[in-house]
Structure 1
Amino acid sequence: MTTVARASMPGAVRLSRALLIAVAVSHLVIPLVMWANEDALRAQVATTYPGFGQAEIVRSAEVAVESGSVFHGILLVLCVVPAWKLASGWSWTRRLITATQVLSLVFSVFSWTSSPMFHAVIPVVALTQVVLVALLWAPRPARDFFA
């Protein structure tokens, strides 16, 4: 990245980058919160699946934390790398960000239905993702930057 690229990056793209970094932070924090609240996950599994024994409940909560960590780890990388490359103005970065954020929005429906733990956070992150994608495509200076 050159100083010239940074200086010429439109405000909408800079704001989009900041929002993308905020989304990346959420993907870092969510698995940590799940791990710290594994007891709450166990209680949730026990309520949802009353037929499960203690071992099944514990393993289900562990699987939720492990799979959540992998999933959000991948999304973290898919936020950080394009955010780092955004100053280049390469059109692939805008397309990659758009695709990953839209897919992340779709996957957030699964998160919403699988656990109420993040019901307060999911709409905020989803709105942030919509705004950051709109900032990459809607303003004329952003479109020109990626042309």
Structure 2
Amino acid sequence: MTRVVEPRTVAPAPVRPAQALLVLVGLSHLVVPVVMWAARSTLRDEIAAGHPSFAAAEIDKSAAAALLAATVFHGVLLVLCAVLVWLLASGRPWTRRLTTVSQLLSVGFGAVSWTSSPMFHAVVPVVAAVQLLVVALLWAPWSARVFFAKR
């Protein structure tokens, strides 16, 4: 039995900037936990202000939990973005769907982050706009639709 090998194609113009923007989104997922770790005292102050009945030990425990959760969560999203940048070039329809779902969910999680802490108020809307642009670049242009449809 012979194996048919599909010729390699170059991703169309809209997909390439979507990949580049995903790299930026991935970098944001790297920066967020780093900033949170660097601003641990600010995080503790926010927790203390939001929960005045917490003792110092509870504040420290809550801050540690938030830092661990942010590191794991953003670490997973960083890896996912890196994998998606690579997979989008294949033109397989499921890669576009996975990218779309992950970016839209991430926009929703950003909204939750927005309400949780003012630490990233300047960044959340910018990253969300970039994520929405990624989705638009993968679905709106005709060349992108054709690229993902023919695989």
With structure 1 as the length reference, what TM-score do the two structures score?
Answer: 0.94
Greater percentage in helix: 1
Q: For residue 46 of structure 1, what is the aligned residue in structure 2? A: 48
Aligned to 2:14, the other structure's residue is in SS state helix
Structure 2: gaps spanning 5 or more residues: 1-5
**Which amino acid counterpart does residue 79 of structure 2 have in structure 1?**
V
Residues 1:84 and 2:86 aligned together? yes
Determine what percentage of the aligned residue pairs are the same residue.
Answer: 56
- Any idea what the Cα deviations from partners look like across 1:58-102, whole Å, max 9, x if unmatched? 111111110011111111122111111111111111010000001
Instruction: Tell me the CA shift for residue 4 of structure 1.
Output: 4.0
Aligned to 1:134, the other structure's residue is in SS state helix
**Which amino acid counterpart does residue 111 of structure 2 have in structure 1?**
V
- Any idea what the Cα deviations from partners look like across 1:43-70, whole Å, max 9, x if unmatched? 1111111111110111111111100111
Larger radius of gyration: 2
Distance 1:137 1:57, change over 3 A: same
CA distance in 2, matches of 1:145, 1:74: 27
**Which amino acid counterpart does residue 139 of structure 2 have in structure 1?**
W
> How big is the alpha-carbon RMSD for the aligned residues of Structure 1 and Structure 2?
1.4
Give aligned pairs, total.
Answer: 144
Structure 1: gaps spanning 5 or more residues: none
With structure 2 as the length reference, what TM-score do the two structures score?
Answer: 0.92
CA distance in 2, matches of 1:124, 1:37: 21
Q: For residue 13 of structure 2, what is the aligned residue in structure 1? A: 11
Out of 136-145 and 82-91, give the one that drifted further: 82-91
Out of 129-138 and 83-92, give the one that drifted further: 83-92
> Which of these residues, 102, 105, 108, is aligned with residue 106 of structure 1?
108
Aligned to 1:50, the other structure's residue is in SS state coil
